[in-house]
């Protein structure tokens, strides 16, 4: 798969293309159904397959502040799509000038002139052009005018509700990680470099790897989570606290701290990926450090039992 950014490439496609349209934040089950359809239809029609998306969420650019926290970094999106048979991942830059393009100008100047589109694949609720004025019926009309076919992916549901990035964000924000897993098709994860912290975990016998996720990412609700941690290509069982460590009153900044179970190595400066499996409990202020340590031991036992059951189940599949 080739990754293209408009900032470093002004080339237009000479080969005919099939283009998947959308923000694709999360690359959830619905997105992957769209992309798999794109790849299949493109291969059948001898087209180069392109996922067309933006470097930043349009809503955050238009309102000039973080309105919509994201489910994926750009690099994670690249890594996930690199695992399938997609030809191109095309990141366009959404800015105020771009936002003023009429729906037809977007189709003509971007999809026709730059991407040489012959097939468009989009979700049933896809909107495009100035103020989202373009919709699926208009895209089909423009397809007839400019000579490209439009394939529409219907709503995909889970538990009688449509799968959407908004629904997944709400699940994560509310600590409903098991539901998020069903909608994403994988565990929600955060990747970041391990940084030096206050070493509170070390002082109470539970050393932690502290990470500072990208500020635009969705963070799970404050609490303690059963997690798995990818380090140097190996997956470890772990437990992660998200929040402010209220037992220690001088903590002012929200932190993400991961204790890797049965592991005691210096990993400062290394990049880890933390996969959130299940919320154990809310964050709580304890009357003493000893009571906190007792609770962490209980949490650890709960995490071990859960992970043992999960591993046994995966061995049977």
Interior CA angle at 273 toward 301 and 238, to 5°? 10
Contact at 8 Å (CB) between 207 and 261?
Answer: no
Q: Does residue 257 carry a catalytic annotation?
A: yes
Task: Name the E strands within the chain.
Answer: 2-5, 17-21, 48-54, 88-92, 117-123, 149-153, 157-158, 161-162, 188-195, 209-211, 223-231, 234-243, 255-260, 271-282
| Catalytic, out of 104, 193, 253, 257 | 257
Tokens 């959308």 correspond to 22
Q: Which residues contact 117 (CB under 8 A, 6 or more apart)?
A: 16, 17, 18, 19, 111, 148
In angstroms, the CA 311 to CA 90 distance is 37
User: In the 8-state DSSP scheme, what is residue 16?
Assistant: -
Q: What sign does the CA torsion over 112, 117, 123, 124 have?
A: positive
The label of the residue with tokens 């955050």 reads 60
Q: Is the Cα torsion angle 209, 212, 217, 222 positive or negative in sign? A: positive
Instruction: Return the active site residues.
Output: 257
């Amino acid at each position: 798969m080739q990754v293209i950014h408009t900032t470093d490439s002004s080339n237009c496609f000479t080969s005919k293309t099939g283009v998947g349209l959308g923000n694709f934040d999360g690359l959830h089950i619905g997105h992957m159904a769209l992309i798999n359809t794109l790849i299949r239809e493109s291969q059948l029609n001898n087209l180069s397959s392109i996922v067309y998306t933006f470097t930043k969420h349009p809503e955050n650019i238009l309102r000039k502040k973080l309105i919509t926290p994201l489910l994926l970094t750009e690099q994670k999106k690249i890594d996930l799509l690199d695992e399938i048979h997609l030809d191109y991942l095309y990141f366009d830059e959404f800015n105020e000038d771009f936002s003023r393009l009429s729906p037809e100008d977007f189709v003509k100047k971007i999809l026709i002139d730059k991407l040489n589109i012959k097939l468009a694949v989009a979700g049933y609720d896809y909107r495009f052009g100035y103020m989202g004025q373009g919709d699926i019926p208009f895209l089909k009309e423009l397809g007839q005018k400019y000579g490209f076919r439009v394939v529409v992916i219907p709503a995909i549901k889970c538990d009688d509700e449509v799968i959407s990035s908004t629904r997944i964000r709400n699940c994560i924000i509310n600590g409903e990680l098991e539901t998020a897993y069903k909608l994403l098709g994988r565990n929600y994860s955060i990747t970041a470099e391990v940084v030096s912290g206050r070493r509170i975990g070390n002082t109470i016998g539970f050393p932690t790897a502290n990470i500072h996720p990208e500020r635009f990412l969705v963070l799970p609700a404050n609490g303690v989570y059963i997690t798995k941690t990818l380090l140097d290509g190996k997956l470890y069982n772990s437990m992660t606290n998200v929040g402010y460590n209220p037992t220690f009153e001088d903590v002012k900044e929200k932190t993400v701290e991961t204790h890797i179970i049965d592991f005691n190595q210096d990993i400062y400066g290394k990049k880890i990926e933390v996969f959130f499996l299940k919320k154990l409990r809310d964050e709580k202020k304890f009357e003493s450090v000893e009571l906190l340590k007792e609770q962490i031991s209980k949490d650890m036992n709960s995490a071990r039992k859960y992970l043992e059951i999960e591993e046994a189940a995966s061995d049977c599949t």
